[in-house]
Structure 1
């Protein structure tokens, strides 16, 4: 894995959200709201189809956009490897998801106190739940790759 810094001559940038094409909007909304997302807004008619903006509790911004066009169902999920969602309590999250009918894989310890588990959404997209060890920053940084 390579590390490095972004070109400092570029304008300030940050990742906003991921647009994920879904085959059945209602089924996908039921899944994503069950794992904690809330609908922030919708844009019904675009060149891509309808857009539904989702946000996790505690996040200041939308992080997921469900893109739905009945004429263009999901045919290949291979371009998206996985989504990652940070949780504070992995065991508690897995229990809560189970109470909502969503089965998560057994948790795994990845060293240094990082724990993960996996879910699969209705279209087959994989979602990794991550619990950072105590004291870890809220996101991944170059420090995570120092050997």
Structure 2
């Protein structure tokens, strides 16, 4: 049985991608540095969920992501390939409003938060390489918590 899935995103600049995903709560746990350019060419990022409502002693599995330098092929060029398959990565968070504010504050221009039928908030944002990310969760700004 499968226990986890870790997407690998091909990106133009691993360092720039790491900065974006840090805004989403990811930390770099491993990376490979190109000896010639002294720049990361691969990185494993991880975000450990915190769940205040979880029973004491329950360990949640981390959310993982890998970034790899794609050698200069842009997202637009990838879209032209016959093998292209669009992907939207859905992420759940503890406070959609706070994450929206953090991304907007860093200049990433997320789309406005929409309220879903289940009362959760959701917005879309693109990472620096054009990957679409949907962020879903409660908007705690309205609750004052």
TM-score (ref. length: structure 2): 0.69
How far 1:18 sits from its partner (Å)?
Answer: 0.4
- Asked whether the 8 Å contact 1:107–1:117 carries over to 2, the reply is yes
Query: In the alignment, does 2:97 pair up with 1:96?
Result: no
Match of 2:43 among 52, 55, 59: 52
Give the aligned partner of residue 128 of structure 2: 122
Name the CA distance, whole Å, in 2 between partners of 1:23 and 1:39.
17
Bigger share in strand:
2
- The count of residues paired between Structure 1 and Structure 2 equals 119
The 4+ residue runs of structure 1 with deviation greater than 6 A are: none
Instruction: Provide the secondary structure at the position in 2 that maps to 1:116.
Output: strand
Deviation at 1:73, TM superposition (A): 5.0
Gaps of 5+ in 2: 35-39, 50-59, 140-145
Structure 1 vs Structure 2 CA RMSD = 2.6
Question: How far apart are residue 113 of structure 1 and its match?
Answer: 1.3
Give the C-alpha shift of residue 30 in structure 1.
Answer: 1.8
Q: Is the 8 A contact 1:37 1:55 kept in 2?
A: yes
- 5+ long unaligned stretches in structure 1: 1-11, 134-147
Deviation at residue 71 of structure 1 after TM alignment: 5.4
* Alpha carbons 2:96, 2:122 under 8 Å: kept: yes
- Contact 2:74 2:129 (C-alpha < 8 Å) held by counterparts: no
- Counterpart in the other structure of 1:30: 19
1:66 is matched with 67
SS in 1 for 2:78: coil
